Structure 1
């Protein structure tokens, strides 16, 4: 006989109420969004609120849930970029950095290998010539001793360097294939993290930053004005270095000399600085950078190094008082001051021809860190908010049409039982939005497609149940027994069909990206809520109705 314990009834209705409560803030989207932004800003300010922030915080009661379904790029408008990371630049930088260690190691064996000279070679290779060919074996042994195990699971047990003789007096050092693969992985992951930190610094909401393929990164930032603005934010490597100045030149084609580099001046067009190639300290040692103003009231950037960087910076300034040094940002000299005195503590200020906006953006870039490699932008799009609003309206209309058609079909096919199924369907949609809000999911156009599909699929389970009840009634079973058997016999078919669809959604989420993932999330959550409402909610409503009416016969 039909019997649902009181505790189970309370639990079912409690779950439904909780899901609908979590979905409720989406009915007041703008108010709740302003409330959330104000709360976040007040927390960042240490709890102090301006009058406008206090007013915005009061738009939504603090005791109610305030999680929202985030709107994706195609619904909110914003910027879209597809970037390719130039991982080959990292190989070249790694190999160039090996030269001092190789040189110092071979100098200790000069009696065996003779004089050492670096010769020109393709990017990503270090070619060294020794004057004593008989010492080639010893030279290779010394350089191979500089190799380290590959850091990564892909190249476990392998060496990071490949050293081979190409002539009787020359050998080449390059990264091994295992180290290149590990370097690619590290470079992409580091780029993803730095891009995410740069985007988060400017307070954007729910950006999509994910890897595509082997060396590409997809960046979508809802609410941003244009793709050009996003490129300005993340497209700069922001590599900050400090170099001793050797001299100046009037053209970029001047010969800087061995182990030197020539960089243009950002302040003075036509002026080029010749600097030592190896920096004294780099931006990797920075721990903080903040926009500020210099003693003349001009925009500048205050910076502070960590302990090791501050020590090197202090030692260098102490030993080179009266000498100029260059502050280089992305191979451009932004300032070349003369060291007036020892600068202890590892802090200083960067001045230049900055606007307030430029100094703020430079501080953001320096705080987030330098990108390990340059990026080439393969695709860029700007989606206006009007287009996003049109997408929302189109999705809303499609959802309402789908919902209306399903509601009409169920009532026309199953009468009073169809009304019960429709009530469960409305609860299902509300719970689905509640789950999306709870996990902070981002809703996109494909996600709306998943919701529309879920609306159609949500009644599949109830159709199976009602058809089984019809069969039992035609077989002569009483109303109570027919309802009970209908749910029991339809359960296996419901679970089989929904489990296989849920597995498909999981696979789409695992191997897909961007729009595919948005579709998979709404589809997967919709399956969970539709199975719950079909098996438990509709049964509870039907049992409650049956207990009150006790009909002698029912028509499905």
Structure 2
């Protein structure tokens, strides 16, 4: 009897667990259906951009409750069944990192006729050869310029310290190969970051061995134009000044007062008070969350610092004013600004800390023209590229824009970046700029001693180190609580300005949902046929016992 009860209990638990897991898939499909209905006009035409904005607005908002647990749309997507391209449709894209552009950049865009001829010849041969493009280029140059060395083409400011007139062709080709691999890894990471912000459930992103191509599969995606734009853009590296949080408190207080007024209006209309911890304000139904904005990303604290390399001539320690305790800043700003603003955007020394679940709401608020007028005209908000998943919050950086909204320094001035170790044997990143960059970097660091400078790629902040002192020669070291891999990733990000690696779509296929429905139906038919054959076999072989077994099976 006890054994029977245990079997019944186990069966019930398995059924409940199955229902629980399937409920996420049903919720996901219901939201997708709502998005489609929302984006469908009177003529029955679906506006894909409008549909995507609707889904983006829900990405970090709670959409499903199980008892006391709340799940955002992102979590629902992650826990729903993954059908894959063959079942639910989507996009299959093959991307190629352009080796030609990288070689041109290393050659400082040389106009040498034989160099250009060798590139053209290598491109033609690549179509019918399995060899790497660098090998084909080396052979092509030796053919069109017999007896001439590659060093005369590749000895320039871009390759200073790596290639000189004494370098052999073999050494130069090895260096080009290494730079090509770094550019490929950088492009792969950038594409992966972009897709993570795209909001696709269970995407497939993989390098194709032996090639400079990347395979991307995006199940459920139905907007090819947006995907092409997202994947093929060239990454843009920029250096930005960062507002000090204390300087923004008066504007933050005006923002808090605005939230209080809006909440009073909402309460007057609905007669309801906001539940504790909900931030007090609901995003508009038409959701401008993604209009003209970047997708929202997460953050973790970055305590890195920029230091000089020329320590022999100047002191390494820099005097700076002691910061007040973080608790006092939190208390002062919360008391001054009110609970609604503090629940949504908690001031910190890095910027504003936002709960992950509130990012869509904050994004919608900051996109409102009346809110933008509350802050300085030269302020632009950017999210950090990483998230503190354990704490469940992200940091919003307050970026100080220059004339015309441009960054004071762009990534093209970076000529070298590498991961290293500092004097305390901690992972660090060394960065070297050209003469133009060194002048701009000297001015930028001199004006921001004790303040942060944000390093942003694709409008996401990868690091925001604090300046210890003026850096006169363009040589900098970024230190902090890095792991070796994080230092390597940051060095690779800094190289995005030095060697832009355009990515182009070489193959694209859109799989329609009809293929998925057909595959599902074929699977069901196969299952029913197999089950039927088992039932028939049981009856024919075991006769009455087989009938009993079939009844028990049903």
Q: Normalized against structure 1, the TM-score is what?
A: 0.37
- Greater RCO (Cα-Cα under 8 Å, separation 6 or more): 2
Higher helix share: 1
Normalising by the residue count of structure 2, what TM-score does the alignment of the two structures yield?
0.37
